[in-house]
Amino acid sequence: MASRESTGLQVALILFVIMTVVLGVTTYLYFRKTEEKIAEADQVSSELTKVKASRDKALFQIQFLHHIIGHDRLDGQKLESLLTELQADTGVMQIEQNYNNDVAMYGVGLDDALLGDLTYRTLPEKLIVSIRSLHKRLEEKDRIIARKDQEYSVATKTHVDIKTGLQAEYVKLNDKYTTEKQTFDAKISEVVDVRKGLKTKLDGQVAIVRDQKSRYNEDTKALAEQIENQSIISDSLKKKIADLQDRSFETPDGLIVRTNQAANIVYINLGSRDGLERQVTFSVYDQDENAVDKAEPKARIEVTEILQGGQAEARILEDSTTNPILPGDKIFSPAWSPGRRIHFALAGKMDINDDGIDDRVKVRNIIKMSGGLVDGELHQDGKETGEMTLDTTYLVRGKPPTEKSNDEYRQAYTSMMSRAKDLNIEVISASKLLNIMGWKPEERTVTLGRGRGGDVSPRAPKPKSDDNGGFRTRKPGSAF
Q: What is the pLDDT of residues 381-412, one digit of tens each?
A: 888 888 888 888 889 998 888 888 888 888 88
Average pLDDT, the chain: 78
Mean pLDDT over residues 60-86, rounded?
Answer: 74
Phi, psi for 23 (deg, rounded to 5) = -65, -40
Q: What is the pTM of this model?
A: 0.39
Say if residues 341 and 375 touch (Cβ distance below 8 Å): no
In the chain the first and final C-alpha atoms are separated, in Å, by 118
Where do the H-state alpha helices sit in 386-477?
A: 407-422, 430-437
The stretch 248-260 carries a mean pLDDT of 78
DSSP state of 280: -
Residue 456 has pLDDT above 50, yes or no: no
The two counts, helices (H) then strands (E), for the chain are 9, 14
Q: Does position 458 have pLDDT exceeding 60, yes or no?
A: no
Which of 2.40.10, 1.10.357, 3.40.50, 2.70.98 would CATH assign to domain 252-319+448-480? 2.40.10
Which of the residue ranges 236-240, 283-287, 472-476 would you say has the lowest mean pLDDT? 472-476
CA 380 to chain centre: 31
Give yes or no for residue 266 having a pLDDT over 90.
yes
- CA gap 418, 470 in Å, rounded: 38
CATH superfamily entry for domain 343-437: BRCT domain (3.40.50.10190)
Domain residue limits, the chain = 2-105, 134-243, 252-319+448-480, 343-437
More confident residue, 58 or 145: 145
Q: What is the pLDDT of residues 326-358, one digit of tens each?
A: 998 988 887 777 767 789 999 988 888 888 888
pLDDT of residue 452: 38
pLDDT digits (tens, 9 = 90+) for 213-232: 888 888 888 888 877 777 76
Contact 331, 255 (CB under 8 A): yes
Confidence of residue 438 (pLDDT cuts 50, 70, 90): low
Alpha-carbon span 105 to 109, nearest angstrom: 10
User: Residue 65's pLDDT band (boundaries 50, 70, 90)?
Assistant: confident
